[in-house]
Amino acid sequence: MRRIELRPLDTHQPGYGQLVIIGWQGTSEGLSLDIQRNLDENFLQDDGEWRSQSFKFHLPALQASTDGILTAVVDSKIVDPLLENPNATNMTRLYGPDGAEVGKARLRLAQGLMPSGASGSSLSLEAGANLNTPQPTPVAKPEREPELEPDSESESESESESESESESESQADPAPRGKSKRWLWILVAILALAVIIGATAWFGLSMRDSNEAGLGDETTVDESETLDLEETPEPKEISQPEEVPEPIADEPPLDDASEESASAEPCSLQRMGEVGELEFIQSCVGSDDGDMLNVVNQALANDHCGIARRLYAHQALNGDAAAALAYAQEFDPAQHTPSTCFPEADVETAIFWYETALGIDADNAEASQRLEEMQ
């Protein structure tokens, strides 16, 4: 197996891809693979996350294309996470039906791949028929009811009814409107006015008598209320204590270890043992501490393997041909020296980093020569 590529389907269906395995001569059934990204050496999981434990994706039976290349269709569980960071470097290991590793190569992403979200919904590969979008059932508009023309007979009936009602109202008021009735109403009004005046005068006299009779009682009540109020002592005001500001505690002095950590250089050996790998790399690559390969060698000499690998990859993927060449030599069987960080040689990984070095510097003679000898 020389290379693995993930290409779009001929139908360009979002969320799906065609896994092309170049140079594979073994069985076409029962294969599986895992995907490991070089950034943190984590493996892609079935839920789209990256973790430290390997996870094997079982492939369908490989199919031979028109040019004889073996391919397998994969879905969004592989396509979507890879497209989240298409510029990342990913290594793929192929496993046989018995679970043993049978090959390893870099996973290349071709142009034209689309995540499943590009279509708004994920379609099933088993659905071969075109999906017909149901059309909405047309709603019949209600017909306008014809306006009823007024009936001439009903109009005449209503007119006759209104005339009869007016006649009955005129007959219901037989009272004459003569001058005798007017004088009667005036007399009634005069009598009513006299009654009102008399009642008002009587009410005023009775109220005055009741007030004079109860004057003594009210004076007694007022005096007792005044006495109670004079005997009730007024509450004394309680003075609030003045707020005393709390003393501001002095900051504790830094101990010797804290001062040394704060003053340590971002790429120093001391910092390698004090902070995490990602934090160290982020601060180191953002500083001007000089040659990163010297930092890598220092990390290798002190068994900081994760920092060494990540710095190698970071520098190589950011255009440092010397770092890519040195990283390839760590895996090259002809130049490999067993160590804690690189216990075994790996031909496929060495080829990948030699190719990366040539991609940066096409005239790199050493990388070109080693690729010719290893392939």
3-state SS of 272-336 is HHHCCHHHHHHHHHCCCCCCHHHHHHHHHHCCCHHHHHHHHHHHHHCCCHHHHHHHHHHHCCCCC
* CA 58 – CA 56 distance, rounded (Å): 6
| Low pLDDT (below 50) residues in the chain | 121-143, 145-176, 212-262
Q: Where are the domains of the chain?
A: 3-118, 263-374
Bridge-based pairing state of the strands 32-37 and 90-95: antiparallel
* CA 350 – CA 333 distance, rounded (Å): 9
Residue 72 CB: number of other CB atoms within 10 A?
Answer: 18
pLDDT given at position 223: 39
Q: DSSP letter at 121?
A: S
Q: CATH for 3-118, among 1.10.3210, 2.60.40, 1.10.730, 3.40.50?
A: 2.60.40
Q: DSSP string covering 149-186, please?
A: PPPHHHHHHHHHHHHHHHHHHHHT------HHHHHHHH
Q: At 236, which amino acid appears? A: K
> pLDDT tens across 317-369, in order?
888 999 999 999 999 999 998 999 999 998 888 998 999 999 899 999 999 99
Domain 263-374 has CATH 1.10.720: no
Closest among 62, 103, 2, 42 to 310, alpha carbons compared: 42
pTM, rounded to two decimals: 0.44
* CA 22 – CA 246 distance, rounded (Å): 75
Residues in contact with 134: Cβ distance below 8 Å, sequence separation at least 6, in sequence order: none
